[in-house]
Structure 1
Amino acid sequence: MNREDCTYGRFWGGWSQAERKVLCLEPPDTWQLEPVAALRLTALHAQPPRVPGHREYLGAILGLGLDRACLGDILSDPEDPCVMYAFVLEDKLDFLAQELHQAGSFSVRAEPCETVPERVLAEPDRELHDTTVSSLRADAVLAAMMHTSRTLAAQAISGGKVEINHLPLHSAAEPVYAGDLFTVRGAGRWRVKEIGGTSRKGRLFITYFQY
């Protein structure tokens, strides 16, 4: 949203820390139903630790003919390994509840749920790191988080190896904002947690973590 100077939109993925989100454009004085709903996924007759996981559920949902864009985060229940929760576009909720009966070799039950338990939505503790950058250009921030040079970071970007918020990053000069997620093919993922003030030498403080 910051990149397009749009003041009447937001990204939403069903919960505050969602990694995958949809863009909601809401002009002033309008009201819309939330576009994302939750689906409770239960593996029937499964014996932990042999239970369906993210890969099995993702494959099963895509196997029903839905596009990946219809599916948001898939979260496990830390207290019940047989249960997972999937955030999906609201208009696909009933279809999945009716048609999703198998995930991999496991029989499953999919049912809409009004609320997802807080234990599922709790953000895991991340090891935060603080550093400074010369600017909020993508190559400068990525280089700092990866502990490499700006030249190598820029080469990764120009080589098509970098995504920001799941979209290809084409320019090393792209501005970076708090919350941005960097994915580098073959290297890992980093998220900019916060952007702070300026040091005495004019460098900018950032806080980040690696997945």
Structure 2
Amino acid sequence: MNKEAVLKGISKIEDKLLVAKILDKYTLSQKIMSNTHSDFLDPYQQNVVRKCLDMSGIRDYIFFGGFGGAERTVVVFCPYNMPENVDSEFSELFEILKIKLNTRENFSHRDYLGSLMGLGIKREKIGDILVREDFAFVVVLKDIADYVRLNLTKVGNARVEIDTVNYDEIEMLDPKIKEISSTVASLRLDSVASVGFGMSRSKIADLIRADRVSVNWETTNSLTKLINEGDTISIRGKGRVVLEKVGNTTKKDRIHILLKKFI
């Protein structure tokens, strides 16, 4: 592996720093002939890392976030053969905390995350947060689990109790999705996002300029960026939509699109 050559091909300084750390984890795994792992990565970071690892010819790795289908994952390097049962083999890297509220008041993902980060915990130590009616499952790296249990006493103004659960105890819910069928003049970001989030194009433009809009988890300030089938558009604090399908063009040269909005 030529680390310098890999890093040279990365333009963004934050991506370069991230990949350098990941490659150091890989080098360590080869040196000690034992598994090593990164902190949690968001989907954009996973894409960056995956491309660089594949370009380097590195194959003995896997992304895993404590349970199947996790959005935030770590990358684990395995100098030996990849285990058949990933869940049981790598679950020891994490603890899944069930944070139960002493109130029926509903709290959001942001409330739980804010309370955790208020303890001084870095975002990369926290995986998925699955919010339910009066509790949330929170995946954390093992090295901070005791700290959370000892120090997290409240979420918002509600006192909490914290238990540890196994990955197979997580109650998975199908995401709530709203389908939006419409037409757009073009597949520009501002046009597609306007339909998906029910906002004017001028309001969308303001959010893009304020660096609050991401495409496939990468922040962009380009109003004219073209959106493709399968792309995810996220607006901080507003959720996300996926361009599910691009259809035919109407007689007035407008393009049929189908969006899926997570609600």
| TM-score where L is the length of structure 1 | 0.64
| Change in 2 beyond 3 A, CA 1:77/1:169 | same
Q: Distance in 2 between matches of 1:16 and 1:151?
A: 39
Q: Distance in 2 between matches of 1:113 and 1:169?
A: 38
TM-superposed CA distance for 1:103, in Å, is: 1.8
Superposed, 1:23-172 pairs within 5 Å as: 24=75, 31=82, 33=90, 37-43=95-101, 46=102, 48-49=103-104, 57-78=112-133, 81=134, 83-97=135-149, 99-104=150-155, 106-118=159-171, 121-148=172-199, 150=201, 152-164=203-215, 167-172=218-223
| Change in 2 beyond 3 A, CA 1:170/1:10 | farther
Conservation of the 8 A alpha-carbon contact between 1:41 and 1:85: yes
CA displacement 1:56-104 (0-9 Å, x = unmatched):
64344223321123223333445xx3x421122354345434x345125
Conservation of the 8 A alpha-carbon contact between 2:109 and 2:129: yes
1:170 match: secondary structure: coil
| Change in 2 beyond 3 A, CA 1:170/1:132 | same
**Is the deviation greater in 146-155 or in 58-67?**
146-155
User: Partner amino acid for 1:207?
Assistant: L
Q: Report the count of equivalent residues.
A: 198
User: Partner amino acid for 2:180?
Assistant: H
2:258 match: secondary structure: strand
Task: Give the match for residue 72 of structure 2.
Answer: 21
Backbone CA RMSD of aligned residues: 4.3
Q: Distance in 1 between matches of 2:239 and 2:107?
A: 24
2:196 match: secondary structure: helix
| Change in 2 beyond 3 A, CA 1:165/1:86 | farther
- 1:196 alignment partner, one of 231, 239, 245: 245
* Structure 1 residue runs without a partner (length 5+): none
Q: Distance in 2 between matches of 1:140 and 1:55?
A: 28
Conservation of the 8 A alpha-carbon contact between 2:232 and 2:241: yes
CA displacement 1:159-207 (0-9 Å, x = unmatched):
434344665322224454526142156xx33311x53243044735232
Conservation of the 8 A alpha-carbon contact between 1:51 and 1:106: no
User: Partner amino acid for 1:183?
Assistant: I
The structure where strand makes up a greater share of residues is 1
Q: Distance in 2 between matches of 1:52 and 1:152?
A: 27
| Greater radius of gyration (CA) | 2
TM-superposed CA distance for 1:152, in Å, is: 4.9
User: Partner amino acid for 2:240?
Assistant: W
The structure where helix makes up a greater share of residues is 2
* Structure 2 residue runs without a partner (length 5+): 1-43, 55-60
TM-superposed CA distance for 1:25, in Å, is: 8.1
| TM-score where L is the length of structure 2 | 0.54
